[in-house]
Structure 1
């Protein structure tokens, strides 16, 4: 079965009601809608929309392996052509003005599929590519793909000596000092970079036109950066590595390649999944082909079949996702349904809860290579991922299970307790929590030539830390003290959130866009765990949310009117960002550009359903800290959700509000516009019924 896609499944049939529903009607409609999406096995699963890069790379992979005839390549072509924007490029989020690397990837795929460079589609794309500096200004992962096709020189790709894989976890530096997603790419890439293959397609592909300065004049080698001593150190080191390669002096080369092969094979799931995200899957399959594995080999066959799970094929087009999110989707849908009045022992919730219990990770994953203590007990993001449970999903699943009643509740409580013990072990030294690892914070790694996404590490973040503390509060609220973290761990987490609050009162959001996400999470955590000791922080956060609401002519929390527009005349962000005058609809919205420009905190030219729901959840959590203007703000936000709900109980959301790699990769979760507004409306109704909304 295909994952839920709000556009494809419902966009043409679900219209807005002529009159907004009442609060109870909206909640009931939303419940019915979400229940209709549950899979027979018990889970919920929606599409993760990213950008065309992954589909383009899949076309390339199938072509270089010679298996493109077995897959719906023509539908992938249709998808790529459909998603080109009027400016000629392809985007990483709605309205970004065109991303250089993404556009090059789409251009490459279309050329592979036989579209001539004289085609108007490619001419428009090429114009944008040249305006942004051409291929030499693109990101490293784009250059790697081009190097595999012989369209970029391997000397412009940083070296990854195979012996890097041999460094033990206790060494001053090892692979385990990089983020988990980096590890999954780097290990198979050591094989690819050692072999430096060039796959000759038939007909032969030439992409010289991508060089805006001309292929002959292009500087493809790694260059020193004036004044950046850290980056220059690694560029110099790369020159040394390349010199050694040219001399044929690479220590422990064969041993390193064998270890890379062993490491990768060991981490392939029985299902064929590797790491659970697309780039490691792509590079592992390429590395196997270089090691002599046939397409028919069971390892390669399972990996390719697993990649089908990333692929969403419909009647007219085909798209490849970056990841699969059933655990995450299921946890939040359960919570929204339980919070909105479904009985805790409702059959749908029980079935979902039993499915989640079966998915708990009980073996040590990659996190253990550095930590060397504690037992496993977390949950992952995907269907299959024994090696990489993450703290955020684990806390979310624990809260979902805590909200429902299963036939054997003791087993459920045992699973939550084991998860809490694992999360306690994963706390970082400065008090926060990261996604997949502990104390994975060597910032200098982002200065390496390979780190141009600035995502080489997995440091602790406000949103993950807040999720953990919210879990503590929810479980405590339910009276299960056995699963609460040690008092010192809680105190350290609270101290971390206090330190991270910014001057305006907001918090940065890493895995959701952006300050609205981080602020909402922090408020929900603080209000549950430390409402008295952190009252000032809660009040400041609530005031900030009111100030950035898209409602002109109302007074902010400080009593002064505000309009929530961007700076007069707009802002310049690589020439893409237009003047962001806010709508007058009572919602909230924040552009992905807020990661590039902090003056855009909480700002966008449109409101979105998920960000409005986050803001409402944060304000509603503030509770007794709310004043008159915060209450008015909540009322406006609720009206926005009611007025935008569609007749079938769903909401439409075109904008990307999920984080991947800030500034470089964003995600549109197709269920965010389903469960988050339901939770927000349900929590609002609870406060109204309790008589806590009047001021």
Structure 2
């Protein structure tokens, strides 16, 4: 249902009414402690793997199994598959994991919905063509052979930092996943289930090895050597490696019991510790399992209670964006909601040294992370947005705010990579060797500089008066060098070129790039050309793999807002005309409760592989866009 507007209201009045309703809705979502957090929705692999983890640990309960199974069944598509994002194509590995989870829940293989899934799996290559992570879960239960999986020995933890494939060559999320998986891989556990997966096999032979002079072929042969070593490892070295890995894992457990605040390292760390003999009553295991329960979302539906697992939680990010949105909407800088959010954010500042210090050992800690509890992995993206918000708050202790902002800015500047850009969690995390391993057929495993993150940092530096400094100038040059041929910018953490362009244009303008310059006008032209006939913007997540989808997709509130932010910053008759149509789309599609419907996923975890629906995006970004639009036309 869309919102009603006053009869005869002017375009400006309608936009003001929409903004007021959206601000009221946003205010109503704030927690009494000062933070905001929208649900972070992904796909049913989270729920399938949660059930499999609990089955492996021997703690799965019938009630939670049925609630999760009910959710998984509800997400099946008409063709029998499960997708990785709303409206996307069916995904083979996701479908296999969902099928196994439903069999675990007691659904018979001959049930109509599982037969339909089986047909989809066969049509797309069968079990034999699933990704490595799916086959690891199958191997845990004897449904796939460990011998047919790539080998990752725990001894890699001893590799020096200068050596290729040392654990700090991996992105933070990848290294925290890989280290526990090396333990699981070395122990090769098998705990059989009372059913098999032969229904999903096609019997197709494994692909022929690649030529030895190619990267794939070379690593396939290295993998054979690692398998041979794994059958007869050096026992003392293997034991020391396992002990070192266990300590590495324990040292990185966060206050909430998790690892990195995200599902993959969390569940694999629990598996590794369990296999190393840590009982369910061990403090690390107890905290890990209890924390994982905090990621569960339960919802009542006409068919009963459903239970799903968030892959991550984003309160720090959401709160920073909400503060910016309210301030852009004209909420006073000393408003109680804004001050409460600032107080909470000040309490979330990072003061510990994490893995980022491996490449920046002399850099003092600072900045902010993404989650409730993630003291070891702050990120430059969150830090930039929070600085942009905090510096505008009229706080009763301005010195405390100023000091936190200065520490955040200094830490972020220190995380600049050699090429002038910024990655999210690490500096100079650009070695491509990990991406070539047979193990790495799913998800990004390195954290190089990206346009969206670099843009947010440049915008932050401009806001604190450092646009003329060398770090900002180098960041601007990086952005100009990485503009796509069509005038857009790639979006790493949001979908996709609309997100990247929506971030970069405001940053460049804030840093002093002329609105009339060629890069800005090319970006405006790209946005105008990709505006939908209804006035909004959208970009389907398939654009990460198929260029035909770049800039194309159903209009969404968040993506329309991103386009509006760029057009507002750029200005000009062409940008203004397109922006008016975009604002009209937001006004027309607003719900009566002040927010917008957005079933589409517009967040990105791993480009091409894993996507996110941030439930707060549909609100905070339209509030920011409408606020800036109206302020610019007062």
Same fold (TM over 0.5): yes
User: What's the C-alpha RMSD, in Å, of the aligned pairs?
Assistant: 1.7
The yes-or-no answer on 1:602 pairing with 2:589 is no
* Residue 271 of structure 1: how far off its partner (Å): 2.2
SS across alignment from 1:317: strand
* Residue 454 of structure 1: how far off its partner (Å): 5.0
Check whether the contact 1:169–1:370 (CA below 8 A) recurs between aligned residues: no
2 CA distance for matches of 1:634 and 1:250?
Answer: 66
The yes-or-no answer on 1:491 pairing with 2:499 is no
1 CA distance for matches of 2:532 and 2:185?
Answer: 50
Check whether the contact 1:434–1:459 (CA below 8 A) recurs between aligned residues: yes
- 1:233 corresponds to: 218
Match of 2:505 among 523, 526, 551: 523
1 CA distance for matches of 2:587 and 2:276?
Answer: 57
2 CA distance for matches of 1:227 and 1:191?
Answer: 28
The yes-or-no answer on 1:281 pairing with 2:266 is yes
- 1:650 corresponds to: 595
SS across alignment from 1:68: coil
SS across alignment from 1:314: strand
Check whether the contact 1:163–1:251 (CA below 8 A) recurs between aligned residues: no
SS across alignment from 1:72: helix
1 CA distance for matches of 2:232 and 2:528?
Answer: 63
Match of 1:32 among 20, 24, 27: 24
CA shift in 2, pair 1:507/1:666, >3 Å: same
Of 444-453 and 391-400, more deviation after overlay is shown by: 444-453
- 2:400 corresponds to: 411
> What are the within-5 Å matches in structure 2 for residues 307-318 of structure 1?
307-315=292-300, 316-318=305-307
Check whether the contact 2:6–2:14 (CA below 8 A) recurs between aligned residues: no
1 CA distance for matches of 2:612 and 2:208?
Answer: 32
Check whether the contact 1:30–1:650 (CA below 8 A) recurs between aligned residues: yes
The yes-or-no answer on 1:144 pairing with 2:144 is no
2 CA distance for matches of 1:277 and 1:33?
Answer: 28
Residue-pair matches, total:
625
1 CA distance for matches of 2:524 and 2:2?
Answer: 33
Check whether the contact 1:48–1:669 (CA below 8 A) recurs between aligned residues: yes
* Residue 68 of structure 1: how far off its partner (Å): 1.2
- 2:281 corresponds to: 296
The yes-or-no answer on 1:673 pairing with 2:618 is yes
2 CA distance for matches of 1:254 and 1:682?
Answer: 59
Match of 1:86 among 78, 87, 95: 78
SS across alignment from 2:359: helix
CA deviation vs aligned residue, 1:322-369 (integer Å, no higher than 9, x gap): 101000110101110111011000001100000000001111111111
> What are the within-5 Å matches in structure 2 for residues 296-695 of structure 1?
296-315=281-300, 316-476=305-465, 484=466, 487-532=469-514, 535-551=517-533, 585-604=534-553, 606-623=554-571, 626=572, 628-689=573-634
* Residue 370 of structure 1: how far off its partner (Å): 2.3
SS across alignment from 1:668: strand
Of 364-373 and 98-107, more deviation after overlay is shown by: 364-373
2 CA distance for matches of 1:252 and 1:371?
Answer: 30
2 CA distance for matches of 1:543 and 1:41?
Answer: 43
Can you give the 5+ residue segments of structure 2 that lack an aligned partner in the other structure?
8-12
Question: If the length of structure 2 is used for normalisation, what is the TM-score?
Answer: 0.96
CA shift in 2, pair 1:263/1:485, >3 Å: farther
Check whether the contact 1:149–1:198 (CA below 8 A) recurs between aligned residues: yes
Check whether the contact 1:177–1:457 (CA below 8 A) recurs between aligned residues: yes
2 CA distance for matches of 1:666 and 1:152?
Answer: 27
1 CA distance for matches of 2:51 and 2:462?
Answer: 47
CA shift in 2, pair 1:18/1:105, >3 Å: farther
CA deviation vs aligned residue, 1:198-255 (integer Å, no higher than 9, x gap): 1123xx2211111122xxx653xx8522487112111111100111222344671011
Of 524-533 and 83-92, more deviation after overlay is shown by: 524-533
Of 271-280 and 239-248, more deviation after overlay is shown by: 239-248
Check whether the contact 2:157–2:245 (CA below 8 A) recurs between aligned residues: yes
2 CA distance for matches of 1:76 and 1:544?
Answer: 43
- 2:229 corresponds to: 244
SS across alignment from 2:605: strand
The yes-or-no answer on 1:182 pairing with 2:167 is no
* Residue 444 of structure 1: how far off its partner (Å): 2.8
- 1:8 corresponds to: none
SS across alignment from 1:313: strand
2 CA distance for matches of 1:311 and 1:154?
Answer: 31
- 1:196 corresponds to: 188
Check whether the contact 1:310–1:324 (CA below 8 A) recurs between aligned residues: yes
1 CA distance for matches of 2:455 and 2:574?
Answer: 25
Check whether the contact 2:270–2:285 (CA below 8 A) recurs between aligned residues: yes
CA shift in 2, pair 1:385/1:486, >3 Å: farther
CA shift in 2, pair 1:534/1:630, >3 Å: closer
Question: If the length of structure 1 is used for normalisation, what is the TM-score?
Answer: 0.88
1 CA distance for matches of 2:22 and 2:495?
Answer: 24
1 CA distance for matches of 2:121 and 2:541?
Answer: 21
1 CA distance for matches of 2:57 and 2:561?
Answer: 45
* Residue 474 of structure 1: how far off its partner (Å): 2.3
Match of 2:4 among 2, 10, 17: 17
2 CA distance for matches of 1:356 and 1:328?
Answer: 10
